[in-house]
C-alpha cells in the first residue's frame, strides 16, 4: 500500500465559485482536450458516434435546482473533479503504489505504468473523481494539469490548469492553499470557502465558495400604481382611431 506524506511543501488546488459558475461546461471540454482528447474533438474515446460510446472525463459539471429556506428556487452548477485530499484514501488503498501524493506541491497523481486497473482507488474515493480508461485499462484523474503549470515553454498566463484558463466566467481559481496570503486562500477566508463532504475526513485541498443570497422579488402591490391605465378613455388621435375601428 502507498504511504501518504506527513506534510507537503505546498497545497496546490482549485477554488470554485458556485455563485459565478454558469454551467457552460467549457472547463469540461478544455480538460478533455488537454488531457485525454481523441479524434481531434472532445468526444468519447471509443465509438463516439455509435450506440455505446465510452470515454473518461476528468472533470464534470452537475446541475441542481436548490430551494433555500427563504427566497426563490435557483439553479446551482457544481463542477467536480479530484480534490487532491490531504488524507487521500485513494492513495493508501493502492496495492502497487501507482497512486501517490507529491511532497513538493500536494498534487495526487497516478503513475500509469504501475497501475494495474484494479479499481480500488475508485472504490475508496468518496467523490467519484476517478474514471477507468476503457482503452488503456488504467485509472485516470485530474492532475491539475501538472504538465502545464511547470512548463516554462508556455506563456506565464498559460501556466495554470486548462480548466482555469478556459473558464469564461472566472469561476475557477488556482493557487497555493497552504499559503494564507495567496489569492485563493484570501478568497476562501472572505467568502467562507467550504470542503465537499467534510464528514468523510479526507481534508480536500480544493474548496468551494457558496452561492450568495439571491435578491428577493418585489411585491406585486408595489408595482400596482405603475400598471394602472393612464386614462379611462383614449383621447386625441388614438381616441379617433378607436372610434373609427369600432364602426368597421
Which one is predicted more confidently, 8 or 225?
Answer: 8
Domains of the chain: 12-209 (3.30.70.20)
**pTM listed for this prediction:** 0.81
50-109 per-position pLDDT tens digit = 888 777 889 999 999 988 787 778 899 999 999 999 999 999 999 999 999 999 999 999
Q: How far apart are the C-alpha atoms of 170 and 181, rounded to whole Å? A: 20
**Among the listed residues 38, 60, 59, the one whose alpha carbon sits nearest the alpha carbon of residue 49:** 38
Which one is predicted more confidently, 40 or 241?
Answer: 241
Q: Residue 229: what pLDDT?
A: 65
Q: Return the percentage of the chain with pLDDT > 70, whole number.
A: 89
Q: Residue 128: what pLDDT?
A: 92
Q: How far apart are the C-alpha atoms of 57 and 129, rounded to whole Å? A: 9
Average pLDDT, the chain: 88
Which band of pLDDT confidence, cut at 50, 70 and 90, is reported for residue 44?
A: low
Owner of C-alpha cell 464528514: 199
Contact 133, 45 (CB under 8 A): yes
Q: Residue 37: what pLDDT?
A: 72
Q: Residue 19: what pLDDT?
A: 93
For residue 48, give Cα distances in angstroms to 36, 39, 60, 139: 14, 9, 18, 20
Is 217 a residue whose pLDDT tops 90? no
119-166 per-position pLDDT tens digit = 999 999 999 999 898 888 899 999 999 999 999 999 999 999 999 999
Q: Residue 230: what pLDDT?
A: 65
Q: Residue 125: what pLDDT?
A: 96
CA 151 from centre of chain: 23
Amino acid at each position: 500500500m502507498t504511504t501518504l506524506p506527513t506534510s507537503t511543501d505546498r497545497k496546490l488546488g482549485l477554488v470554485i465559485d458556485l455563485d459565478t459558475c454558469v454551467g457552460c461546461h467549457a472547463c469540461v471540454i478544455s480538460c478533455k482536450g488537454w488531457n485525454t482528447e481523441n479524434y481531434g474533438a472532445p468526444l468519447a474515446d471509443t465509438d463516439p458516434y455509435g450506440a455505446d460510446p465510452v470515454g473518461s472525463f476528468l472533470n464534470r459539471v452537475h446541475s441542481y435546482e436548490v430551494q433555500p429556506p427563504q427566497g426563490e428556487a435557483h439553479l446551482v452548477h457544481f463542477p467536480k473533479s479530484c480534490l487532491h485530499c490531504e488524507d487521500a484514501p485513494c492513495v493508501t488503498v493502492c496495492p502497487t503504489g501507482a497512486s501517490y501524493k507529491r511532497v513538493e506541491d500536494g498534487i495526487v497523481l497516478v503513475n500509469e505504468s504501475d497501475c494495474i486497473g484494479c479499481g480500488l482507488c475508485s472504490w475508496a474515493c468518496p467523490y467519484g473523481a476517478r474514471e477507468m480508461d476503457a482503452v488503456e485499462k488504467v485509472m485516470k484523474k485530474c492532475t491539475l494539469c501538472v504538465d502545464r503549470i511547470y512548463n516554462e515553454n508556455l506563456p506565464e498566463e498559460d501556466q495554470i490548469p486548462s480548466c482555469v484558463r478556459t473558464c469564461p466566467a472566472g469561476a475557477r481559481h488556482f493557487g497555493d492553499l497552504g499559503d494564507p496570503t495567496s489569492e485563493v486562500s484570501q478568497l476562501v477566508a472572505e467568502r467562507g470557502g467550504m470542503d465537499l463532504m467534510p464528514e468523510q475526513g479526507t481534508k480536500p485541498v480544493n474548496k468551494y465558495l457558496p452561492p450568495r443570497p439571491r435578491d428577493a422579488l418585489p411585491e406585486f402591490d408595489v408595482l400596482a400604481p405603475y400598471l394602472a391605465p393612464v386614462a379611462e378613455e383614449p383621447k386625441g388621435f388614438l381616441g379617433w382611431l378607436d372610434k373609427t375601428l369600432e364602426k368597421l
